[in-house]
């Protein structure tokens, strides 16, 4: 079997963990070919930590040309352009910054179809995407996700600044946002990839409901999902341990991307 050449865009918490996993867990099936980060120090630091030495690309185009599968682990601002460039050059793509692609998702899907390539979107830090996908074969009536995080997890979010919310003064559970996934991903793009994934798997960004709560009592990122469907009602709660390199990122998000790679390479596929 020819090895799949994988390139990673973004060498932070997720990109770094995935690079290590590709080398350690998928040595027979894949080759980590290239890394790219707009912060060249980040890519250089990651290469130093790895046992093998992938090429550090100086631009996105160089990485795409060297790879069969491009993993985007960069930012919501850049994920659409990265996915579009990869698909246009007939490469498969895995997207982690899902908040950045929901608006233009139809265009990406059409491009993937036209070029016979795939867009992989891991479930990320939530449970229930499997059941939602199955329920959506029938009729889904309502999907709501409630995300609860420590106020510190919302540091740097411009919506918080614009609303004049002082995160350090939050002493009890406080609803920061309640509305559609469309607005949630616009205002909280770095925090709410899970709402984007849920929208794509279910009712879309206009009809998926999102509530965001800041709670000084919690240290984990908690996602509760309620689904009402003709197949029955589904409720899931995921209490996420945070990634040691980035407290905004849940460790499960990394594992879910590794699980998608496993799905690509291994002969047995479990789950929807």
Sign of CA dihedral 54, 59, 60, 62: negative
Distances, alpha carbon 1 to alpha carbons 15, 21, 73, 150, in Å: 25, 20, 27, 46
Does residue 224 touch ligand NAD according to CB under 6 A? no
β-bridge partners, 142: 228
One character per residue 47-66, x = contact with ligand NAD (rule: CB under 6 A)? --------------------
Does residue 127 touch ligand NAD according to CB under 6 A? no
> Which residue of 98, 167, 205, 213 would you call a contact of ligand NAD, by CB under 6 A?
98
Closer Cβ to ligand NAD, 39 or 173, answer by number: 39
For the sheet with 232-240, list strands across it. 174-180, 208-214, 140-149, 221-229, 232-240
* Residue closest to ligand NAD when measured from CB atoms: 12
Binding to ligand NAD in span 182-221, by CB under 6 A: 190, 193-194
Does residue 42 touch ligand NAD according to CB under 6 A? yes
Distances, alpha carbon 46 to alpha carbons 14, 41, 149, 228, 250, in Å: 12, 9, 29, 44, 20
Question: Which residue is listed with tokens 């002969």?
Answer: 267
Does residue 23 touch ligand NAD according to CB under 6 A? no
Q: From the CB of 98, what's the least distance to ligand NAD, in Å? A: 5
Does residue 229 touch ligand NAD according to CB under 6 A? no
Does residue 129 touch ligand NAD according to CB under 6 A? no
Binding to ligand NAD in span 147-166, by CB under 6 A: none
Does residue 7 touch ligand NAD according to CB under 6 A? no
- Residues designated as active site: 223
Closer Cβ to ligand NAD, 96 or 176, answer by number: 96
CB contact at 8 A, 178 and 211: yes
Phi (first) and psi of residue 101, to 5 degrees: -115, -10
* Piece of the chain touching ligand NAD by CB under 6 A; list 48-56, 70-78, 161-169, 173-181: 70-78
Number of residues that make up the chain: 272
């Amino acid at each position: 079997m020819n090895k799949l050449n994988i390139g990673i865009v973004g060498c932070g918490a997720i990109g770094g963990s995935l690079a290590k996993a590709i080398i350690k867990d998928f040595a027979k099936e894949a080759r980590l070919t290239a890394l790219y980060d707009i912060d060249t120090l980040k890519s250089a630091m990651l290469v130093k930590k790895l046992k093998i030495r992938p090429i550090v690309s100086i631009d996105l185009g160089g990485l795409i040309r060297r790879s069969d599968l491009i993993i985007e682990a960069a930012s919501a601002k850049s994920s659409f352009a990265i996915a579009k460039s990869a698909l246009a050059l007939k490469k498969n793509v895995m997207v982690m910054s899902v908040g950045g692609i929901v608006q233009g998702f139809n265009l990406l899907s059409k491009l993937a179809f036209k070029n016979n390539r795939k867009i992989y979107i891991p479930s990320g830090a939530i449970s229930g995407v499997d059941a939602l996908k199955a329920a959506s074969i029938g009729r889904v009536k309502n999907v709501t996700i409630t995300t609860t995080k420590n106020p510190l997890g919302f540091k740097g979010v411009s919506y918080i600044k614009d609303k004049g919310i002082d995160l350090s003064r939050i002493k009890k559970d406080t609803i920061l946002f309640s509305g559609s996934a469309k607005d949630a991903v616009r205002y909280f793009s770095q925090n709410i990839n899970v709402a984007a994934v849920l929208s794509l798997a279910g009712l879309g960004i206009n009809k998926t409901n999102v509530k965001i709560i800041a709670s000084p009592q919690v240290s984990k990122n908690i996602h509760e999902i309620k689904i009402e469907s003709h197949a029955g009602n589904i409720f899931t709660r995921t209490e996420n341990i945070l990634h040691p390199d980035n407290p905004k990122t849940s460790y499960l998000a990394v594992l879910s991307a590794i699980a998608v790679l496993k799905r690509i390479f291994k002969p047995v596929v479990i789950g929807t």
